[in-house]
Amino acid sequence: MTRPNTYETLLQNQPAPSLKEHPIKKTILILLSLILIPATSFAATPAELTKPVHQFIDGFNTGDTKSAFAAYAPGVITIVDEFAPHRWSGPHAVQDWAADYDKHATATGVTEGKVTAGDPSRIEVEGTLAYVIMPTVYYYKEHGQPLQEEGQITVVLHLEPTGWKMQGWTWSGVKPHPAK
């Protein structure tokens, strides 16, 4: 005995409608995919990625802490540098680092600190995160003697609504030596 066709069995035996048959569904799918694809899947330029690093360095060089601090993303920041306590982390890490830099400079006779940065030697971008390494030279005077320290800054950036911002950095440099 064969079972009579019910509405459910008829539906089960029908092929699923294609997107061609439902232009509204196709349009919605395209719009959703455009919304869900992050804007960062498009390549960020080196200039866009290094802009906040240069902003921070320029602010440091001129004593413009407001501009320097504005180069950072909101939230937890991590900084690793060569003077104690060597690591700062948290939402006020930048301000804490700046205060400790000033204390260190006063205690060691450091004046006229200036940093220069070259073109990035490495850039990695993954979605809304970026990793950038830039060669640097730190020039300063210690008890009036001109010194310099070649090194590099390694920065982690996050794409914020206003652009790329720093989430952390590490300074690595050679032992300071008389300036050339």
The residue behind tokens 């320290």 is 149
Mean pLDDT of 88-108: 97
In a domain, 1, yes or no: no
91/15 same-domain check: no
Q: Residue 26 belongs to what domain range?
A: 7-36
Mean pLDDT of 82-91: 97
The residue behind tokens 């939402």 is 91
pLDDT for residue 21: 60
The model's pTM is 0.77
Q: Which tokens is 180 given?
A: 């050339």
Q: Is residue 83 predicted with pLDDT exceeding 50?
A: yes
Ranges of H-type helices in 13-92: 23-36, 46-62, 65-69
- Distance, CA of 39 to CA of 32 (rounded, Å): 13
pLDDT for residue 41: 46
22/81 same-domain check: no
C-alpha radius of gyration, the chain, whole number: 27
- Distance, CA of 137 to CA of 169 (rounded, Å): 15
Mean pLDDT of 107-118: 98
Domain count, the chain: 2
In a domain, 141, yes or no: yes
145, containing H or E segment:
strand 145-160
In the chain, the N- to C-terminal Cα span, in Å, equals 100
3-class secondary-structure state, position 68: helix
47/27 same-domain check: no
pLDDT band at 53 (very low <50, low <70, confident <90, very high): very high
Q: Which tokens is 6 given?
A: 């019910």
